[in-house]
Amino acid sequence: MGILALDYGSKRIGVAVNDPTLTLALPLGYLPAEPFGEFVRQLKEFIRRYEVSLVLVGLPRNMDGSYGPAAERVRDFVWKCKQLIPIPVELRDERLTTKLAAHYLREAGRKEKAGRQKIDGVAAAVLLQSYLDELALRKT
């Protein structure tokens, strides 16, 4: 079972996929958000290549649990995706994923500018890793 995670942004959408054992999330980088048709074409290619059966999309929430304007944009994005791809698309709380991704990149010695290029994929991997960890806990 392939799972693809997306970290939505208005310019770039981070992408990550699981390893074959459903243990690790692997960042794949990012796709340009626009034009949307091209994004969907590339997304479908990832779905085919990695045999994806589920897409997770990070849903931004405020620390108090409320939703802001960014959450509405993500919900619109997910609605559009659901119309165009033939597999389930689920929302998942993404609080602190970008901050964790930035921390991991700093710890790895990435420069700030180079980190911006990679942070979207790493944020998607953080989102997916939390999902994979929950799956593993449910199995025990």
Percentage of the chain beyond pLDDT 90 is 63
Q: Higher confidence at residue 78 or residue 138?
A: 78
Give residue 97's pLDDT band: very low, low, confident or very high (50, 70, 90): low
Q: Return the percentage of the chain with pLDDT > 70, whole number.
A: 84
Q: How far is CA 128 from CA 8, 10, 52, 86, 91, in A?
A: 13, 20, 13, 20, 11
Of residues 104 and 28, more confidently modeled: 28
Number of domains in the chain: 1
Per-residue pLDDT averaged across 66-88, rounded?
Answer: 94
**pLDDT for 77:** 97
**What pLDDT sits at residue 102?**
61
| Domain containing residue 101 | 2-139
Note the pLDDT of residue 38. Answer: 97
User: Which pLDDT score is estimated for 63?
Assistant: 79
The CATH number of the domain where 35 resides is what? 3.30.420.140
